[in-house]
């Protein structure tokens, strides 16, 4: 199954390519589903929350600084390069 595509299914999500942390309902499957759902999802969410809060506190004027280059993985989407200005 291609999780990256499923999480951007326009039949499931309005405006699926927009990052919306407040999306509700948000029936994504980034951590899988059912009996084999990710056992570390709460740790991963906590780490992400701490990392984002610390990053934004340290670099409040952070901004994108160039063209993003997507990675080639189908299962987990991401970026090879995401230039940013953090001054």
**Footprint of ligand HEM on this chain (CB under 6 A)?**
3, 30-32, 36, 38-40, 43-44
> Residue 77 Cβ, how far from ligand HEM at the closest point, in Å?
10
Distant-in-sequence, close-in-space partners of 9: CB < 8 Å, separation ≥ 6: 16
CA distance 81 to 66: 9
- Measured from the CB atom, the residue of 48 and 63 that comes closer to ligand HEM is 48
> Residue 19 Cβ, how far from ligand HEM at the closest point, in Å?
15
SS3 65: coil
> Residue 55 Cβ, how far from ligand HEM at the closest point, in Å?
16
């Amino acid at each position: 199954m291609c999780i990256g595509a499923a999480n951007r299914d326009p039949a499931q999500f309005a405006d699926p390519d927009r990052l919306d942390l407040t999306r509700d309902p948000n029936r994504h499957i980034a951590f899988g589903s059912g009996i084999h759902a990710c056992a570390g999802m709460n740790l991963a969410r906590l780490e992400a929350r701490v990392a984002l809060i610390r990053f934004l506190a340290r670099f409040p004027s952070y901004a994108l600084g160039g063209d993003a280059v997507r990675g080639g993985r189908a299962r987990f989407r991401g970026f090879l390069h995401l230039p940013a200005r953090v001054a």
